[in-house]
Amino acid sequence: MIIGVPSEIKNHENRVSMLPFGVEELTRNKHQVLVQKSAGVGSGILDEEYVQAGAEIVESAKEIFDRAEMIVKVKEPQPVELEMIRKDQIIFTYLHFAADKELTLGFMKTEAIGIAYETVQLENGQLPLLIPMSEVAGRMAIQNGAKALEANMGGRGLLLSGVPGVEPATITVIGGGVVGTNAAKIAAGLGAKVNIMDVNPARLKYLDDVMPANVFTIYSNRHNILDILPKTDLLIGAVLIPGAKAPNLVTRKMLGLMKPGSVIVDVAVDQGGCVETCKPTTHENPIYEVDGIVHYCVANMPGAVPYTSTTALTNVTFPYVRQIANQGYKSAMQINPSLLPGLNSIEGKITHRGVAEAFGLEYFSPEVFIK
């Protein structure tokens, strides 16, 4: 199989979808790997390293899309990339269809095979290709939220940890999954008072057992969210429904309960955001203000730490890339059932229920397409 690794073109996206070790292993298995010139530079990987591993360096993205049978990326296809995708070409990347109807409809028109990292799912419900980036994003949410709280950024002028004689900031994390757990862990380590909310009592019990004494677990419902917002200096949105649009748990009206200069970091922005006033921003212009509340809603937060993120991501994606290359996507999905939920679109049809429901599109069972 010919596998293509194009440069990422989303704003300030410095990750790359494959490391040289992956190229070496694929070429050893008689596959051909095309890597776009300078694709790895943002992650500290030179073209020479890919060449030594057996890759062919290609000048343009168009040549890669023209020649490759499978495209391996990090972020969802951008408009110019959608125009280059071919019918029946495999696109293996974060797709995040449920957050973007235009992208979804555009991809359907290509009739390509869209396999989304974020919906590959193990039997126990875990999302193995989302976990490492969720870990990074959860930790960065506190890092960026702390910066946004500074007065020069429009924030309240609070130090998360406080100092002797001055109380620390209060951080509320909505969602106790991988993002929320990592956010709470970092915030607690900095000395903040941390509230973490979730709808799963068993998860709350687990978090209560493993978190330090300055982390408090609260059942997530509208009443409790309304109660906690006036006490919150930094709100982290960390809600995920696999493959589907995130629910709006904090409305614009609720912002009036928060203190002016408080900060919201909505990590769920990739899936539409769990805060009504959330809209995707970039690393170049990461923040904006609504009703006196600072919003940080960068959609590719891990892209700012590309060395860490690329290594963490490719550690988990490469085994699936290798399996698809070696066996073809149909056999790979039959042998490894965790890949099947990753199939989001094929032959111009939507094969993930959450995406179909988000936009009122007809849903087709993915099993039909791998027989």
* Domain encompassing residue 179: 135-304
Looking at the fold, whether 195 and 283 belong to one and the same domain comes out as yes
Mean of pLDDT values over 300-316? 94
Looking at the fold, whether 249 and 192 belong to one and the same domain comes out as yes
Q: Identify the band that residue 271 occupies on the pLDDT scale cut at 50, 70 and 90.
A: confident
What tokens appear for 219 in the block? 């059942």
Mean of pLDDT values over 135-162? 97
pLDDT given for residue 258 in this prediction = 98
- pTM score: 0.88
Does 243 have pLDDT greater than 80? no
pLDDT given for residue 27 in this prediction = 98
pLDDT given for residue 54 in this prediction = 98
pLDDT given for residue 300 in this prediction = 86
Looking at the fold, whether 234 and 279 belong to one and the same domain comes out as yes
* Cβ density class 327-364: b for 16+ within 10 Å, e for less: ebbeebbeebebbbbbbbbbeebbbbebbbebeebeeb
Radius of gyration of the chain (CA): 21
Residue 83 gets which letter from DSSP? T
Question: CB under 8 Å to 300, separation ≥6 — which residues?
Answer: 10, 11, 12, 13, 75, 270, 283
Does 228 have pLDDT greater than 80? yes
Amino acid at position 187, single letter: A
Looking at the fold, whether 239 and 183 belong to one and the same domain comes out as yes
pLDDT given for residue 241 in this prediction = 83
Q: Identify the band that residue 25 occupies on the pLDDT scale cut at 50, 70 and 90.
A: very high
pLDDT given for residue 270 in this prediction = 86
Looking at the fold, whether 284 and 343 belong to one and the same domain comes out as no
Looking at the fold, whether 341 and 242 belong to one and the same domain comes out as no
Looking at the fold, whether 215 and 270 belong to one and the same domain comes out as yes
Handedness of CA 50, 38, 313, 127 (dihedral sign): negative
Q: How far apart are the first and last CA of the chain?
A: 20
Three-class DSSP category at 228: helix
- Which of the listed residues 304, 329, 347 is the one where a domain comes to its end? 304
Residue 29 CB burial class (10 angstroms; 0-12, 13-18, ≥19): exposed
- Which of the listed residues 304, 321, 339 is the one where a domain comes to its end? 304
Residues forming beta bridges with residue 236, ordered by sequence position:
173, 265
Looking at the fold, whether 346 and 323 belong to one and the same domain comes out as yes
Q: Which CATH number goes with the domain that contains 140?
A: 3.40.50.720
Residues forming beta bridges with residue 70, ordered by sequence position:
3, 90
Q: Kindly list the catalytic residues.
A: 96, 270
Total domains in the fold of the chain: 2
- Which of the listed residues 251, 286, 304 is the one where a domain comes to its end? 304
Looking at the fold, whether 49 and 72 belong to one and the same domain comes out as yes
Looking at the fold, whether 113 and 141 belong to one and the same domain comes out as no
Looking at the fold, whether 210 and 355 belong to one and the same domain comes out as no
Q: What is the pLDDT of residues 150-197, one digit of tens each?
A: 999 999 999 999 999 999 999 999 999 999 999 999 999 999 999 999
Looking at the fold, whether 278 and 350 belong to one and the same domain comes out as no
